Amino acid sequence: MRSLIYGLTLFATMSVAQSPNQITLKYDDGSGVSGEFLDFTNDTFRIQASVGLIAIPAQDVSCIGSACPAGTALEIPPAPVMLTSLDGNVRISGDVIDFVDGEYVLATDLGEMRIGADLTTCEGDGCITDPQPVSSEVTLFDGSSTIEGEMLGIEDGVYIIEVDQLGTLRVNASQFECRGDACP
């Protein structure tokens, strides 16, 4: 059933991205926007995204997709993969840009796609052979006190952690040293 849901979700994602003019404009911080490429004039991309018509200066982004104008495409080292759904019904090929939160981030001819590694089998040079899950367990230490729990987030200089039998705690980050994979 999980494979069927994945296949339908992936199919829905692909059907939205079927336009040969589909691109993703990616910022240096990893965020980006996808849409149908309309025009590139005066070093500005114009795309039709789900939120409407967007104009983005080329100096701020790299372009992913076969419709990208010459000289604007994201330059990535070749890391080709073929991801196949667990039931074998869906296959996607592209170059691995990143691997984040258990998902392959691929540059494809249709733009950027994110696909869960646990829902696919991977073939190719860019496959992640043994993705190690990042533990959210942390230890906060201030020299005399220790707090152990699951890091939920950081807001306004405060660690938010879930501690067994105590619930959610908010701890001033400037007063504690954080140890663990989830620490900033």
Q: For the whole prediction, is pTM greater than 0.95?
A: no
Over the stretch 13-28, which tens digit does the pLDDT of each residue have? 443 445 678 888 888 7
Q: Are 120 and 159 in contact (CB under 8 A)?
A: no
User: Per-residue pLDDT for 81 more than 70?
Assistant: yes
Range 79-106 average pLDDT: 87
Angle at 155 between CA 26 and CA 30, to 5 degrees: 10
How many Cα atoms sit within 13 Å of 180 on the Cβ side?
22
pLDDT of residue 14: 42
How many Cα atoms sit within 13 Å of 144 on the Cβ side?
0
| Cα 109 versus chain centre, distance | 17
